[in-house]
């Protein structure tokens, strides 16, 4: 197989554990990185991807953050698209009505109101710490700086998420990508961007999507896998993702991406 670019999701895909890559994955990425670009593509914020770039020795490559809403090439921001600020305010009100807490993300900033089991897991898994601040204060600060969210994380219960998810789709589906990460978490990002659109933006004039191999596991990887030259799902991925992938490799906990690279990218 002859590809110029390898793009991989992180959580549930490239990461063998919740917050790290295995030595096997590191050795396989290092083996191919001189002849292929290796680009990390994630819903994560920049600093929760940087340590993984360093582990893989690919700091010279760009990273696609927030499902494509932010692209950074080393120290240079090359693309940014945020959620309409009025929409963020409305989402906050809807969340308050259902006692759902928000995680608000802009570039390298992450704000939550208080600690919780979910927040502590996020800190542990992403090796990043939030700023604890009242959401009204964060929104007032952002409005004064004329900025808005690259991503919103809604943290509730299964019941509250079940209630608010259809409401969000009814009110915001035309302007936001709305992902149900699990029973209690909902992620929101700008509709106009995706992992696929970010990859397309990074292609040079001489490169095409047919020269991209991509790896993923979840709904936000669908377009990326579907339109890459080769889309590979991990065995632990969503059934819908495995159905449209060209190949399914082993689970992320079994180093599925690394095994695929070893077997097929000679």
Task: State which residues form the domain around 20.
Answer: 5-80+193-264
CB of 161 within 8 A of CB of 154?
Answer: yes
Same domain, 95 and 26: no
Q: Of 190, 218, 252, which residue sits at a domain end?
A: 190
**198 in the same domain as 185:** no
Check whether residue 15 and residue 145 sit in a common domain.
no
Same domain, residue pair 176 and 227: no
Provide the pLDDT for residue 181: 82
pLDDT of residue 162: 97
Last residue of a domain, one of 190, 208, 237: 190
- Residues 106 and 142 reside in one and the same domain: yes
What pLDDT score was predicted for residue 182? Answer: 86
Query: What pLDDT, on the 0 to 100 scale, is given for residue 218?
Result: 92
**Residues 6+ positions from 11 with CB-CB distance below 8 Å:** 18, 42, 43, 44, 125
Residue bearing tokens 């010279």: 60
199 class by beta-carbon count within 10 Å (0-12 exposed, 13-18 middle, 19+ buried): buried
Please tell me whether residues 22 and 58 are part of one structural domain: yes
Instruction: Dig out the tokens for 31 from the structure.
Output: 């083996």
- Note the pLDDT of residue 73: 96
Pairing of strands 37-41, 62-65: parallel
Report the chain (266 residues): mean pLDDT per 10 consecutive residues. Answer: 93 96 98 96 97 97 97 96 98 97 97 94 94 97 98 96 97 93 92 95 96 96 97 97 98 98 94
The tokens of 16 are what?
Answer: 């063998």
Residue-level pLDDT at 2: 82
CATH number, domain of 150, equals 3.30.1240.10
Number of domains in the chain: 2
Asked which of 146, 164, 190 is the last residue of a domain, the reply is 190
Shared domain for 41 and 56, answered yes or no, is yes
Task: Please indicate, yes or no, whether residues 72 and 118 belong to a single structural domain of this protein.
Answer: no
CATH code, domain with 28: 3.40.50.1000
Q: What angle do CA 214, 219, 223 make, to 5 degrees?
A: 50
Q: Are residues 15 and 67 in the same domain?
A: yes
């Amino acid at each position: 197989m002859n590809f110029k670019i390898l793009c991989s999701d992180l959580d549930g895909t490239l990461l063998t554990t919740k917050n790290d890559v295995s030595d096997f994955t590191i050795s396989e990425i290092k083996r191919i990185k001189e002849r292929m670009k290796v680009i990390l593509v994630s819903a994560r914020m920049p600093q929760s991807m940087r340590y993984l770039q360093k582990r893989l020795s690919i700091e010279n490559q760009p990273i696609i953050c927030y499902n494509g809403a932010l692209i950074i090439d080393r120290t240079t921001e090359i693309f940014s698209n945020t959620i309409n600020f009025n929409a963020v305010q409305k989402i906050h009100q809807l969340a308050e009505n259902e006692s759902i807490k928000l995680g608000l993300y802009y570039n390298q900033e992450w704000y939550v109101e208080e600690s919780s089991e979910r927040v502590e897991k996020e800190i542990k898994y992403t090796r990043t710490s939030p700023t604890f601040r009242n959401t009204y204060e964060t929104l007032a600060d952002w409005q004064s700086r004329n900025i808005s969210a690259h991503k919103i994380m809604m943290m509730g219960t299964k019941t509250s998420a079940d209630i608010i998810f259809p409401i969000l789709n009814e009110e915001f589906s035309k302007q936001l990508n709305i992902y149900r990460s699990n029973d209690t978490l909902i992620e929101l990002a700008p509709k106009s961007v995706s992992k696929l659109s970010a990859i397309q933006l990074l292609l040079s004039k001489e490169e095409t999507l047919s020269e991209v191999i991509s790896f993923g596991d979840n709904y936000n990887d669908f377009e990326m896998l579907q339109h890459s030259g080769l889309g590979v799902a991990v065995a632990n991925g969503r059934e819908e993702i495995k159905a449209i992938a060209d190949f399914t490799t082993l689970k992320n906990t079994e180093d599925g991406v690394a095994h695929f690279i070893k077997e097929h990218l000679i």
